[in-house]
Amino acid sequence: MSAVPLPDSSAVADFLGVSRDSVRALPESLTRTGRASFIVLDCGGRSFLLQSGGDPEIGESAWADPAAHRYLYPFSASDYTYLSAFVERVDPSFLPRPQRERAAIAAGNRHPEVSLPAAFDAFHKILRRTGKNLASTVQLSATREMTTGKELAARDGSSPTAPGHTRVSIRHLYHAGLWAAIRAGYREGYNAEADHFIVSGSDDAAIAKSVEWVKEAIREAADYTKFTTDTSRVFDLRADSRHAQPWSEAETGELFEQRLTPEERGWALAAFSRAFECETRRYRFSEPEIKRLAVKFGPSLKLNEELYDAIRRAKKGAEFDFEPSLDEAETLTTPQELIFYMHWLRERGRPAQLVPPNLGFKKRQAYPQSRDALADYAGHKMWPELPARVDGEFKGDPLAELQARVAELAEVARFFDGTLSIHSGSGKQAEVLRAIGWATRGRVNYKISGELQLQLFDVLSEQPDGSPERKLFEGMTAACEKFAQGGAFGAESSLAAEYHASHGAYLGDPKRGRVDGNLFLVFWLGNMVGSRDEDGRFFKEPLDSLPEAMVKETRRRNSEYICWLAQNLLEGAQGG
């Protein structure tokens, strides 16, 4: 996106108190209607919208030349009223849309004003090169990285793991998406996702409280077009035979009687008694299997029904994508589990358009490509079947096993007219991306988030010693390690000193999945954005006012990364 001088800018420049040459227009943003034309202007770190012709259309102007029918409006990512008025009254093609069966790269934006312009730049390039619109770029966890405006205002920065650690509200990310789409002239359609509405709690009262909080966040996210729910924390893991102490068949039968009503029990046994013909594979469930899966997933599924209904009420009849998540479960997702989850929801009137299994991906980390690496990677997880399957069926090749497993899960998703959604996609190697592209036949939703932020931190870390930006990076790493000393990150807190001793503050080579870097900081450094520095300021404040050259370099890296992801996913889908 390149800004150009604005012709006849003297009156606007005089109003803003700047030179004419400093008023730059974004030609991609130009919008013409039968009444007027509109274009975005940048000047001294501020954004405006200039209307030429007609009467004021999106609210009270900051400056006007009535004789020439010219009006200037504030138009930053925080000017919610003007942004909403523009897309509602002038050009609705900038509004987000449901994704449905379209493939996409869902680019999470923890620093929206930095990374959203880069994402739209990348999606424009991908569209021109391939003819495919992969844009699903307005995305963050609604109850983890983001939170409601009310909760954000009360957040004091003392807990780095509290919801809203990006200091981005649900409402702000949505409007930042409008802002970036308009600036980029992106009318081809994109998805706005409120990701991971997380329900948790150690007892029924805590779970009920969590559900009410999630419903409040859903209401604030009513303008979004995709909703990812996460009720995996209420899975009964002892109903899974992979658990170290699984329930017996008799115990499972008793819990089936306790947790489901007579009507639900009868329905479940009938609904899953049929065969499921998923392209190349056929699945059937025995009665004990149905009961075991109902015990493991039943409470979670009923919570998803409740949340789906809350989303439907918030959307007031508008279409939306529903994505119930299994990706943060303790166990790898089997095809049978995916069938159970998707069939239950579809048959009970809450169909999922996308579904994310647990593939064994770790956030912002590479996937192991050797048998030895897999042993270390999976050793502490509840994935006992993975090394055995790699050895027994795939001659010790983890990527071959991953590709086959993803292909089987993708067949199940397509059986339900759904799209397999890949979470924790940041940091994965080209070989992994191509395997996923092949296994899904290109019908995939690939989610990233942390890597775009890490690239911003890379830029900060590369600045000269003693520079304000290098000091900012060092202050964030010091704060992160100080929080770890107090146990703020749970069991992982102990890793801070270990990685500091061996890797310093190096975040690793992004081309290698950052496996050579300080993995404690790779995972937790981003949580410092919503915490305070030694002077009491939120770290977000200086991050929001970085020099233009650093923002430009970060955007270049972000855009190239998204294009690289698309290239490998699409090459894999084409058999490359």
Q: Is the separation of the CB atoms in 342 and 297 below 8 Å? A: no
What is the reported pLDDT for 576? Answer: 57
What is the reported pLDDT for 212? Answer: 97
Given a cut of 60, is residue 314 above it in pLDDT? yes
- Per DSSP, what are the bridge partners of residue 283? 276
Q: Is the separation of the CB atoms in 134 and 123 below 8 Å? A: yes
Q: How far is CA 76 from CA 48, 180, 282, in A?
A: 7, 9, 53
Mean pLDDT of 437-441: 98
Please name the residue ranges forming H helices in 348-467. 371-378, 385-394, 398-415, 430-440, 450-461
What is the reported pLDDT for 5? Answer: 58
Q: Is the separation of the CB atoms in 570 and 130 below 8 Å? A: yes
Q: Is the separation of the CB atoms in 315 and 249 below 8 Å? A: no
Given a cut of 60, is residue 1 above it in pLDDT? no
Considering only residues 409 and 365, tell me which one the structure prediction assigns the higher pLDDT.
409
- Phi and psi based region of residue 6 (left: phi greater than 0; alpha: psi -120 to 50; beta: remaining): beta
CB neighbour list of residue 181: distance below 8 Å, 6 or more residues apart: 94, 120, 190
The percentage of residues in the chain with a pLDDT greater than 90, rounded to a whole number, is 92
The rounded radius of gyration (Å) of the Cα atoms in the chain is: 25
What is the reported pLDDT for 248? Answer: 97
Rounded Cα gap, residues 366 and 426, in angstroms: 8
The pTM of the full predicted model, rounded to 2 decimals, is 0.96
Per-position DSSP letters for 8-53, written without gaps between them:
T-HHHHHHHTS-GGG-EEEEEEEEE-SS-EEEEEEETTEEEEEEES
Rounded Cα gap, residues 155 and 270, in angstroms: 48
What is the reported pLDDT for 4? Answer: 59
Closest CA relative to residue 231, chosen from 299, 294, 333 = 299
Rounded Cα gap, residues 525 and 489, in angstroms: 11
Rounded Cα gap, residues 462 and 464, in angstroms: 7
CB neighbour list of residue 81: distance below 8 Å, 6 or more residues apart: 59
Backbone angles phi, psi at 484, to 5 degrees: -65, -40
Given a cut of 70, is residue 175 above it in pLDDT? yes
Lowest-pLDDT range, 11-20, 432-441, 474-483? Answer: 11-20
- Could you tell me the two tokens for 208? 């009920």
Coil, strand or helix at 243: coil
Local structure of residue 2 (DSSP, 8 states): -
Mean pLDDT of 79-88: 98
CB neighbour list of residue 248: distance below 8 Å, 6 or more residues apart: none
Closest CA relative to residue 341, chosen from 166, 506, 350 = 350
Which tens digits make up the pLDDT trace of 2-31? 665 566 678 888 888 888 888 999 999 999
Q: How far is CA 381 from CA 107, 243, 245, 332, 387, in A?
A: 27, 11, 15, 10, 11
* Structural element, H or E, at residue 564: helix 548-573
Please name the residue ranges forming H helices in 231-384. 249-259, 262-271, 287-315, 335-347, 371-378
Parallel/antiparallel/unpaired status of strands 4-5 and 24-32: antiparallel
Local structure of residue 58 (DSSP, 8 states): S
Backbone angles phi, psi at 153, to 5 degrees: -65, -30
Given a cut of 90, is residue 382 above it in pLDDT? yes
Backbone angles phi, psi at 228, to 5 degrees: -105, 120
Q: Is the separation of the CB atoms in 325 and 196 below 8 Å? A: yes
Given a cut of 80, is residue 464 above it in pLDDT? yes
Which tens digits make up the pLDDT trace of 515-527? 899 999 999 999 9
CB neighbour list of residue 67: distance below 8 Å, 6 or more residues apart: none
Instruction: Report the 3 state secondary structure along 456-507.
Output: HHHHHHCCCCCCHHHHHHHHHHHHHHHHHHCCCCHHHHHHHHHHHHHHCCCC
Local structure of residue 92 (DSSP, 8 states): G
Which tens digits make up the pLDDT trace of 55-78? 999 999 999 999 999 999 999 999
What is the reported pLDDT for 14? Answer: 87
CB neighbour list of residue 185: distance below 8 Å, 6 or more residues apart: 28, 29, 30
Q: How many residues does the chain have?
A: 576
The percentage of residues in the chain with a pLDDT greater than 70, rounded to a whole number, is 98
Mean pLDDT of 367-375: 95
Mean pLDDT of 389-410: 97
What is the reported pLDDT for 440? Answer: 98
CA torsion sign, 484 to 486 to 489 to 494? positive
Instruction: Report the 3 state secondary structure along 135-162.
Output: EEEEEEECCCCEECHHHHHHCCCCCCCC
Q: Is the separation of the CB atoms in 356 and 421 below 8 Å? A: yes
Coil, strand or helix at 229: strand
CB neighbour list of residue 549: distance below 8 Å, 6 or more residues apart: none
What is the reported pLDDT for 575? Answer: 86
Mean pLDDT of 202-215: 96
Burial of residue 42 (number of CB atoms within 10 Å: 0-12, 13-18, 19+): middle
